Structure 1
Amino acid sequence: MDIEGFRALRSDVGRDVLDAASNADVSESGLLATAAKLREAYPPELVSAALTQVRLRERARAKFGADAARMFFTPDGLEQSTRAAVAVHRARRFAAVPGPVLDLGCGIGADLLFRARAGIAGTGVERDPLTAEVARANLAAFGVAANVVVGDATRADPSGFGAVFADPARRTARGRVFDPRSYEPPLDTVLELAGRVPAACVKVAPGVPHDAVPDGAEAEWISVGGEVKEAALWLGGLAGGTARRATLLPSGATLTPDPALGEPVQRDFGRFLYEPDGAVIRAGLVAEVAALVGGGLADPRIAYVTSDEEHATPFAAAYAVEDVLPFSLKRLRAELRRRGAGALTLKKRGSAVDVDRLRRDLGFARRAPRGAPPVTVVLTRVGDAPVALIVAPLAPGPAGTS
């Protein structure tokens, strides 16, 4: 779809087609019939664009909830956009900085939109003209004021802005980019631009190496619903006085380093097992979780914390340890049969076991018998010795800040 085609979609006729497509069956089985019916009343190009947009909106619900029904997308723009929960979280931090925000590489405008909805003025710079047009449409859909200009982010002049937000591309035609020097533009270039204003935030890949974080910056890893989704570098007036932070959404619980802590102690498995959130692990804050629960690590290279104390914490999933077995397919199968196990959850960290194959070998590829108790098995190792722990999940802990 080109710009003219997208603009046609926003015309009166285009809105009629979008409304009709939104109320029709656009599933794989119903798409062809819906397209044929709509083409009886509307131009084929407009129908195709509308159906594509409706299907993108369906996919976007996972990121934007009910707002997705009012937004516009491109396939790449949706894939690379910031999800609503993260954009709202970042907007709250930007509210502490006076002056408008220059958004470099604004994409379809998700961060720009949620900052504007929070009353934060700004200008977005986007290299692709169609994507820039989509960003303008998203701002208009919610009646918020912000500017979007087509241009090269590396040539933007940040003078007069209170802060910069930058989202360098981390995908190429060959897939994801993990080396910050291969971002587009490269991270060093973005950091140089960001250094010209009092405060900045640069979105980076969750796998960003710790040694790529500049001195004085705060690196924040964010998980949403227990899955690591994003990372960002906060600079200047937006840095929070800590080098690393793990933030859990939607609760907003946040964990930062305790400089008084050393490495976690090494110990045998105790009565409880704690699985730190992925953002906690990426931020290098496993020792902080171990301190919160009075525990240590059975293996210093594997981020499973064990303790004899039960503590509710939002920063780790907690399990009661029922049994610890040297890993053996025969022994594990016998123990699960003894328990009359029903639904089987397999988790692993530091284990080379193929979980799908193990499930089949254990005889759990079929549906669990009604009434049979669910069982969770954690596969890990201590040193070179593979271990299987049979555990029972505990209720999650309350949100909090540390």
Structure 2
Amino acid sequence: MNDLSPLLTDEGQSLLDELRDLDPARELAVATRLRRDHPAALVSAAIGQARLRQRAVAKFGAEDAYRMYFTPHGVEQATRGAVAEHRARRFAALGVRTVADLCSGIGGDAIALARAGISVLAVDRDPLTAATARANARALGLAGLIEVREADVTDIDTSAYDAVFVDPARRGGRGRIFDPEAYSPPLSWALEAARARPYAALKIAPGVPHELVPDDFGAEWISYEGDVKEAVLWSGPGTGAGTVRATLLPAGTTLTGRGLPNPPVRPVGRYLYEPDGAVIRAHLVAEVAESVGGGLIDETIAYITADEAHPALPYATGYEITDVLPFHLKNLKALVREREIGTLTVKKRGSAIEPEELRRRVKPKGPNAATVFLTRVAGAPSMLIGKRM
């Protein structure tokens, strides 16, 4: 269904309420029953929306997800709620009161901005997407703070707004787009739109090369529960032009770069530290290494080794290492059997072996647990065995 309006009627709302706890295994039976009393097209649309809402719970939480509306593309591409809230808090702390949200999608960022007390113009050129964003603003009681406009973002006059937020499309018919100039709109256009306002934030792919970050912007890499979600280019007073930072959510801890040189390579010590993905993407491994008095196990691998324990380190996960061995599956299998390791966590960096394949071949069995790192130590394929601190 390309028209959201039937779902907004009393009949559509009643169906959505009834389908809140839809069991996928009973979907056919439920659809057959509902079609006896409701139009088939409406039932299909309601079931599709129920599915999307269930998927959206992971990003928005149940309270919001089951009141909101989604498109398949929208639920996939929407910013996770915690990430949008972090960005909205930054804007609010800068004194921003009005934002033009360009390429707003279904309105996830606009909702977070509005809840931070910011008035938002949400712009998207797709009619269904714009209608969905408008419905979401109403459903969450934010229509007074969110104006939704169906338009091409390049036609929008943003001069009346304190800031712009641009989230360009980074997927095409063949999947992800890696060239920022192939974004829609291109990164070059977004940069100029940003420079035209006092403040701006531009959402980009986390794998963007650092050399593409302009000197008059600060760059922030954001992870949620260890999974890197996005990078954001910030501009305006107080946003840290020329700096890089890594923010780890949900804790909200931020590490800012100090321009440190690469850490030295050193022998493996008693402890190993695995930096958060946002720290690695932001090229801030040296800052973490300095904080633990450590170095790298290999010049090309982002594992830090040290002689002291730092179990509460916010930017990296620490492990106590018991064994450092040359890589050999036969030796690992014997060690796992000897120590009765039944729960084997496999991490890899610089190794071609897949964790599931390794577990299948090693066949862990027993009451104990351990972590094995498949990696390189000073250029040599190696296995590091230990446990999390």
Scaled to the shorter chain, the TM-score interval is: over 0.9
| In structure 1, distance between residues paired with 2:174 and 2:96 | 40
1:274 deviates by 0.1
Pair 1:373-2:372 in alignment: no
Question: Counterpart in 2 of 1:301?
Answer: 300
Kept in 1: contact 2:215–2:242 (CA 8 A): no
Question: Counterpart in 2 of 1:399?
Answer: none
Kept in 1: contact 2:376–2:382 (CA 8 A): yes
Unaligned stretches of 5+ residues in structure 1: 395-402
**Displacement over 6 Å in runs of 4+:** none
1:85 deviates by 0.2
One-letter code aligned to 1:82: T
User: Which of the pair is proportionally richer in strand?
Assistant: 2
One-letter code aligned to 1:53: Q
1:275 deviates by 0.2
SS in 2 for 1:337: helix
One-letter code aligned to 1:75: P
Kept in 1: contact 2:12–2:46 (CA 8 A): yes
| In structure 2, distance between residues paired with 1:105 and 1:241 | 24
One-letter code aligned to 2:264: V
Alignment of 1:349-364 (within 5 A): 349-364=349-364
Question: Counterpart in 1 of 2:280?
Answer: 281
SS in 1 for 2:74: helix
1:262 deviates by 2.2
| In structure 2, distance between residues paired with 1:198 and 1:93 | 14
One-letter code aligned to 1:255: L
TM-score normalised per structure 2: 0.96
Question: Counterpart in 2 of 1:200?
Answer: 200
Cα displacement string for residues 235-292 of structure 1 (whole angstroms, at most 9, x for unaligned residues): 1236235511100000000001123x32212100000000000000000000000011
| In structure 2, distance between residues paired with 1:31 and 1:269 | 54
| In structure 2, distance between residues paired with 1:318 and 1:223 | 18
One-letter code aligned to 1:233: L
Cα displacement string for residues 215-245 of structure 1 (whole angstroms, at most 9, x for unaligned residues): 1211111110111111111112362355111
One-letter code aligned to 1:205: A
Cα displacement string for residues 125-168 of structure 1 (whole angstroms, at most 9, x for unaligned residues): 10101000000011101111210111111111111110000000
One-letter code aligned to 2:276: D
| In structure 2, distance between residues paired with 1:176 and 1:97 | 34
| In structure 2, distance between residues paired with 1:98 and 1:263 | 37
Cα displacement string for residues 153-208 of structure 1 (whole angstroms, at most 9, x for unaligned residues): 11111111100000000001110111111111110011111111111000001111
Question: Which residue of the other structure, out of 65, 85, 89, is the alignment partner of 1:88?
Answer: 85
Unaligned stretches of 5+ residues in structure 2: none
Kindly, what percent of the aligned residue pairs are identical?
54
Kept in 1: contact 2:97–2:117 (CA 8 A): no
Question: Counterpart in 2 of 1:161?
Answer: 161
SS in 2 for 1:342: strand
Question: Counterpart in 2 of 1:117?
Answer: 115
Pair 1:50-2:49 in alignment: no
Between Structure 1 and Structure 2, how many residues are aligned? Answer: 384
Kept in 1: contact 2:265–2:378 (CA 8 A): no
Question: Counterpart in 1 of 2:271?
Answer: 272
SS in 2 for 1:101: strand
Question: Which residue of the other structure, out of 87, 104, 107, is the alignment partner of 2:105?
Answer: 107
SS in 2 for 1:158: coil
| In structure 2, distance between residues paired with 1:188 and 1:241 | 17
Kept in 2: contact 1:97–1:237 (CA 8 A): no
| In structure 2, distance between residues paired with 1:151 and 1:120 | 21
SS in 2 for 1:216: coil
Kept in 2: contact 1:379–1:386 (CA 8 A): yes
Pair 1:310-2:306 in alignment: no
Alignment of 1:237-252 (within 5 A): 237=237, 239-241=239-241, 243-252=243-252
Computed over aligned residues only, the root mean square deviation of the Cα atoms, in angstroms, reads 1.2
1:94 deviates by 1.0
Kept in 2: contact 1:26–1:51 (CA 8 A): no
Cα displacement string for residues 8-50 of structure 1 (whole angstroms, at most 9, x for unaligned residues): 1001111111112224x331x2110010111111111111111
One-letter code aligned to 1:217: F
SS in 1 for 2:235: strand
